[in-house]
Amino acid sequence: MQIFLTSQAKDPNVKQPMIDYVNGFDGKSLIYIPTATHAEQGFGLYQDGGTFKTIKNLSPDLEILELEFVTNQEAQDAIQSADILFMAGGFPVYLSYWLHRRKLRNLIYNRINDGMYYIFTNAGAMVCSKSLRSVNYLA
């Protein structure tokens, strides 16, 4: 199992390692999941961000999978057909909720073991852990 973790995909130093990790984006289907970002920034605002623009530039035919707006079957079919899965950062507990609700955890794990590339930033990495808790720190 190989995964690619970065704190910011928009960092210029990350672009070439991402390309190398997936052996080039050309001809590969990419699913982009912005769900964690929705909880922090609001719906659709990820499209103005540097991470999305970087990934869109690398893979112009990417498919956006907003877990809140699809059925379990639609989400599972998208993951099943993906060559590359990109999970954007944001609020990890929200993302974990939707992955659980759409019954994607085992499917993603199995697809990675079968060779699907998995690129994630922050929240996408956190949801891979065995447990996840939300902590609210007050300043």
pLDDT band of residue 122 (cuts 50, 70, 90) is: low
Measured CA to CA, the distance from residue 104 to residue 82 in angstroms comes to 13
| pTM (2 d.p.) | 0.85
The residue among 113 and 47 whose pLDDT is bigger is 113
């902590």: which residue's tokens?
135
DSSP characters for 50-72?
A: HHHHHHHHH-TT-EE--GGGS-H
Which pLDDT value is given to residue 127?
Answer: 61
Torsion sign over Cα 32, 12, 2, 61: positive
The two structure tokens encoding residue 113: 């073991």
Question: What's the pLDDT score for residue 34?
Answer: 93
Report the residue count for the chain: 139
If pLDDT is split at 50, 70 and 90, which confidence band does 81 have?
A: very high
Is residue 117 within 8 A of residue 84, CB to CB? The reply is yes
Residues 18-32: what's their mean pLDDT? 93
Q: What is the pLDDT of residue 75?
A: 98
Would you state the structure tokens that stand for residue 133, as one six-digit string? 């808790």
According to DSSP H, which parts of the chain are helical? 12-21, 35-41, 50-58, 72-81, 92-101, 105-113, 123-126
Cβ atoms < 10 Å from Cβ of 27: 7
